[in-house]
Amino acid sequence: MSNYFYKKSLKDLLEVSSEGHQLKRTLTVTNLIALGIGAIIGAGLFVRTAAAAGEHAGSAVTISFLIAAVGCAFAGLCYAEFASIIPAAGSAYTYAYTTMGELVAWIIGWALVLEYALGAATVSIAWSEYLNKLLGDSIPYEWMHSPFESIKNLDGTFTSGIMNLPALVILGLISLLLIRGTHESAIVNAIIVFVKVAIILLFIGLGWQFINPANHVPYFIPEDAPKTLLPDGNWYDYSNFWNHGWGGVITGAGIVFFAFIGFDAVSTAAQEAKNPERDMPIGILGSLLVCTLLYVLFSHVLTGVAPYTDFIKEGKEASVAYAITKYMPGYSWLSFSITVAILAGFSSVILVMLMGQSRVFYAMANDGLLPKVFAEVHPKYRTPYKSNMILFLFVGFFAAFVPGSVAGDLTSIGTLFAFILVCAAVWILRVKEPNLKRNFKTPLVPLVPILGMVVCFAMIVGLPMPTLISAMVWLIIGLIVYFMYSAKQAAIKRNLKNK
């Protein structure tokens, strides 16, 4: 008989994580920090910095980044405590199973598909767009877009998309790398991270000498800032409370918050870390700290090189390249390098998202909630290779045949929901197991978990209504799958184990 609120004991979890025939422990603390940076730094740094500065925060976007980092840190501290206690694959799903029961664990595992699988598909679509830009728009339209997209030609005819081939190719290559081995994947990720961080540091170092102090005065956008004429002929008004001063900084924090998402993917690799009790907290919080430092320095230089009003007039995706071209003469090659950094950023994000999703599915299959094929480990490479293959088909289908705009903010809502439950789970475990050995302890419990939940819930409420409705539909589908299949299979597996 199904027990929807069955909680998995810590003893069972620790036994699973120590079984020798399962996933291979190869990741060092350096690998874990690199995985975190790989997941966090995508194109968000280049795109969202300019958007937040131009529309809301001005030069004070640096403060927006610090506020967003604090918001992420609340959840990061809670993840760090759990990762030090439970060195098992599955991240938020596993933590919820221990503290809140099977049904809640299933809901969070289902929500993580939005973060990892849809996130990887959406990023791969963006990757193909930037690759085409790097190649001078030489890839034909029909092989860059889904069948649901079309473009009007000069002669009045229309060209329809067939499939997004570059997106499919990058997903296939990264899936093969993940099947080959976690250690090998971590090495490639470290190389990618080195490239994109080096280019970011180049921009910071070279751009510093082009900072015009006048662009940082006033630091906050003033209430009486003159209206700015937009390319579409409309005027942008800064007098609204959320478009200037501290109101603008807070709105800017909401915009750049999503440039931090991804550090939680580190916790999915806990079962492959060499010394998870010590290294997981360092990997999670270390990657968050490094990215915050880079983000603040990057935004300080960008808003110093160009006035914030330029970022609202120019194309947001090309804002950094625009600033370099207009205000940093002789450094056009750096503009090209930024595109390379964005491509590298996308590649590492896809890698970590696919790795995270396969590890969540691995944990769910081990509990009987998903078919056992997702938990089958390659005899030589010790990776969940069949899970990676199935994910490639699922994510690849989405990337090749569905427009990127469809995913929208669904990736963000899955992430924020996971953050809320992990914050709640830390608080619950502190009450239920106060004497449990914790190699890392979240400070100021329950204040930090409560603040984490409040910040993340506020972010969810701020998402567009169509996104919230889509997420609700996804949840209903998940509940149908759970009650029709997963709950029964998990109960059967538990009964067999207890006999």
pLDDT over 70 at 193, yes or no: yes
pLDDT value of residue 314? 67
| CB contact at 8 A, 230 and 312 | yes
Domain containing 478 — which CATH number?
A: 1.20.1740.10
Average pLDDT, the chain: 85
The mean pLDDT value for 168-193 works out to 89
Q: Which DSSP symbol is given to 231? A: T
Q: Which of 375, 443, 417 is nearest to 92 (CA)?
A: 417
Tokens of 420: 């809320």
Tell me the C-alpha distance between 356 and 39, whole Å: 10
pLDDT over 70 at 187, yes or no: yes
- Residue 2 forms part of a structural domain: no
Instruction: State how many domains the chain has.
Output: 1
pLDDT value of residue 43? 66
pLDDT value of residue 245? 92
The mean pLDDT value for 333-338 works out to 86
pLDDT value of residue 21? 44
pLDDT value of residue 20? 45
Tell me the C-alpha distance between 65 and 49, whole Å: 9
Q: Which of 254, 339, 261 is nearest to 46 (CA)?
A: 339
pLDDT over 70 at 442, yes or no: yes
55-65: per-residue pLDDT in tens? 889 999 999 99
Tokens of 246: 């501290």
pLDDT value of residue 10? 73
The mean pLDDT value for 28-51 works out to 84
Per DSSP, what are the bridge partners of residue 236?
Answer: 228
Domain range for 471: 10-498
pLDDT over 50 at 395, yes or no: yes
pLDDT over 50 at 421, yes or no: yes
Handedness of CA 481, 485, 489, 492 (dihedral sign): positive
Alpha carbons within 13 angstroms on the beta-carbon side of residue 43 total 25
- Residue 1 forms part of a structural domain: no
pLDDT value of residue 483? 93
pLDDT over 60 at 408, yes or no: no
Q: Do the bridges between strand 158-160 and strand 228-229 make them parallel or antiparallel, or are there none, so unpaired? A: unpaired
274-295: per-residue pLDDT in tens? 888 888 899 999 999 999 999 9
pLDDT value of residue 294? 95
Q: What percent of the chain has pLDDT over 90?
A: 28
Tokens of 332: 């056009």
Q: What percent of the chain has pLDDT over 70?
A: 93
Tokens of 201: 């540091």
- Residue 3 forms part of a structural domain: no
| CB contact at 8 A, 409 and 154 | no
Beta strand residue intervals within 6-160, DSSP E: 150-152, 158-160
pLDDT over 90 at 23, yes or no: no
298-335 residues labelled b (16+ CB within 10 A) or e (exposed): bbbbbbbbbbbbbbbebebbbbbbbbbeebbeebeebb
pLDDT over 60 at 84, yes or no: yes
pLDDT over 90 at 231, yes or no: no
- Residue 4 forms part of a structural domain: no
pLDDT over 70 at 195, yes or no: yes
The mean pLDDT value for 62-73 works out to 91
SS (H, E, C) 90-133: CCHHHHHHHHCCHHHHHHHHHHHHHHHHHHHHHHHHHHHHHHHH
Tell me the C-alpha distance between 190 and 188, whole Å: 5
Tell me the C-alpha distance between 381 and 366, whole Å: 19
The mean pLDDT value for 368-386 works out to 89
Q: Which of 103-117, 209-223, 313-327, 443-457 is least confident? A: 313-327
pLDDT confidence tier of residue 166, bands split at 50, 70 and 90? very high
Q: Which of 292-306, 403-417, 453-467 is least confident? A: 403-417
- Residue 199 forms part of a structural domain: yes
Look up residue 93 and give its amino acid. Y
Tell me the C-alpha distance between 117 and 220, whole Å: 38
The mean pLDDT value for 177-190 works out to 86
pLDDT value of residue 209? 94
Residue 216: partners with Cβ closer than 8 Å, 6 or more residues away: 59, 303, 304
